Amino acid sequence: MTTGPSNEDGWVRHGGPDPFLTPEEKKDISRRLRGRLASPVSVWTAWARDRRAVGLTVSSLMVGEGDPAVILGLVGPLSDLWEAVEASGRFIVHILGTDDVRLSDQMAGRYPDDPFRGVSIIEAEAGPVLTGIETRAACTLLGHRPLGWSQLVEGRIDSVELGPVERPLVHYRSGYVSTGPRRDPDA
């Protein structure tokens, strides 16, 4: 069954509301706590062993300043992305803006199709570069370990490209919100 638009971007998802969505009161308490934290939305990409592009939406990430600067992220230990990062030792982190809801959902597997369908990429050594996303970091895997139900991935930031992200995409309470600089109402 296909329903009308189920997202602000106007795209149609199959099946209507998520039939597997756990009611709030039945969710694990740590999951409920995490849901009350605003998280930046990013897409991590890497090359699989067969040189196929793989990607995953990641909203549990943090950047540590230093020499070298590092990025930490929680990814699924059984995901294609983790398998590719572990094999290649490289990945790219793309920071999404409010216009990237469809891409975020696509890379999260919320559409029944190839996540890279309709996505333009450029081949780079560290991984596939999503051409429409201008803020990104190329990283080298430094380490990893199990953490809860996830894999904590630590990467050295090798290079950064900074594009305009005036309104970053943020995940909060199972949905998307945005934030950004305050606008002067008198301007």
Q: Which two tokens stand for residue 114?
A: 């190839």
* Cα within 13 Å of Cα(54), Cβ side: 19
Q: What is the pTM of this model?
A: 0.82
Domain ranges of the chain: 38-173
The top-level CATH class assigned to 38-173 is mainly beta
Q: Which two tokens stand for residue 120?
A: 């333009």
Can you tell me the mean pLDDT for 36-61? 93
Lowest-confidence pick of 18-27, 104-113, 146-155:
18-27
Can you tell me the mean pLDDT for 82-90? 97
Distance from C-alpha of 101 to C-alpha of 75, rounded to nearest angstrom? 19
Contacts of 76 (CB under 8 A, 6+ apart): 56, 82, 150, 151
Q: Which two tokens stand for residue 26?
A: 């039945």
Q: Cβ distance 141 to 157 under 8 Å?
A: no
